[in-house]
Structure 1
Amino acid sequence: MSPQTCTEGFAYDRRARQCIDVDECRTLPDACRGDMRCVNQNGGYLCIPRTYSDTSCILGYTLAEDGTCNDIDECETNSHHCNPTQVCINTAGGYTCSCTEGYWLIGGQCQDIDECRYGYCQQLCANVPGSYSCSCNPGFILNPDSRTCLDVNECEDEPCSHRCFNTYGSFMCNCDEGFELAADGTSCIDLDECSFSEFLCQHRCVNAPGSFSCICPPGYYVYEDGRSCEDINECDTGNNTCTTAQVCFNFQGGYTCLDPLQCHSPYIEVSDNQCMCSAENPACRDKPFTILYRHMDLSSGRSVPADIFQMQATTRYPGAFYIFQIKSGNEGREFYMRQTSNVSATLILARPIKGPREVVLDLEMVTVNNVINFRGSSIIRLTIFVSEHPF
């Protein structure tokens, strides 16, 4: 029997959630015919002669000393027939068997209503005999209506080291740039950017809280990109120790002060960087005609092979040909000469050179003229400053 279906003579009261007696004497027009008087009963009604009702009391009433009929309270006198699970409710001339709140009448028995089956709670529900209780999942609190749940803004308690974002039923932590979220989900730990790659900085990477910086060795400055190293030209900036008599020569990562040229006898100075041995001087017969002094710089570990210096005859004689060779300074065989034309050659770096190092090569150009039986030579004394670093 559903809660809305009651036995004949009873109707379901939605507010009380139970079946209550129907007063047919009020609801049925002409319930009794003629002079018969209608008397409501529990679950029905009686039609009795008026003469009888004027002298005697009907069922459910008792005659009082003053001659009136008073209602019998069957519930108080325990003269009802409700079963032990029911509650007796007295009515005029009778009584009603009902159930307490939280129970409904099924098959004459009061059975507990499982409120949890009918969605009384928004989230968590616990049924108890005759009642129920609601609760909420973590991240929510119960509203004053004791049924619905309200999201808790966990960020108000500042659980995150850096930034907190409230979500429905929970929250999420984020970290500032340069930090990463720890295993606990709330703390932020510094991100060691330098461990990501050895190519992050051209020279050396230094980690800092939330960031990193690149540093360069002495003689260099950090370029605009914040990672590359650029050579400081001490000769241009004036930040050098060269005297006015010396010449400042800049190379990658440093500089050197070149003393004024001194030509040793029998050579004489013909320019700032050239010594000559006159053919008219007998002491010059087996010596190179000229010695030209040149300087250049080279990065440490430069990839090979690499063309690094050009050499060319400046004067051509009819019938003459030229031989280019490395006369001295190439004991490690890092270099070789490749003749590129009849009158020119290129110095090739064949093996990488690690710095810092200073290499002095004598590059010889031999002039041969078989027509006049002439053989002479000139020297380029090339000083190469190899930097300590590959940049």
Structure 2
Amino acid sequence: MSSAHREYVLAAGTANQTLSYRLRQNISFAGCPHARLPARQQLSVARAFALYDGQEHVLRYALAARVGSASDDAQNPLVNPCHDGTHACEAPARCQPGAGMEYTCECAAGYRRDGRGCRDVDECTEGLSQCGPFTLCLNVPGSYRCECRSGYRPAEDGQACVRK
């Protein structure tokens, strides 16, 4: 188990903003009950990855690691296909590591699974948009946009349109 709290300064031009984050993690290991384990084990981290998803406002991270003696690491490196690029996910799907060498291909909001890839959902033709009266729905990758018909302007609610 470990816990950490960090603060950092975000500098944007002449303005600085102090932000912080808290990290709590548990690492569990269950060895083979029939194996004779050395008195000392080592957690070896081959790679660490971090990805910020702006749509979900989430920071995801993953480690490619193994538990064993130091001599095992050179003979059997454990690297998930998401981390070394050998996965079969097709763009724009994102590879999400699972246990060991397992992974899934996941789609962002506004996209639907299509085999190992993702295809754009047309919110306009599928009736999923929130466009109001006197608007035109325009599909864009991963989302949609509402525009006012000719002779109309956006209403105060930002979704409907009213006569000019």
Please confirm whether the aligned pair reaches a TM-score higher than 0.5, indicating the same fold: no
**TM-score if structure 1 supplies the norm length?**
0.21
**TM-score if structure 2 supplies the norm length?**
0.44
Which structure would you say has the larger Rg?
A: 1
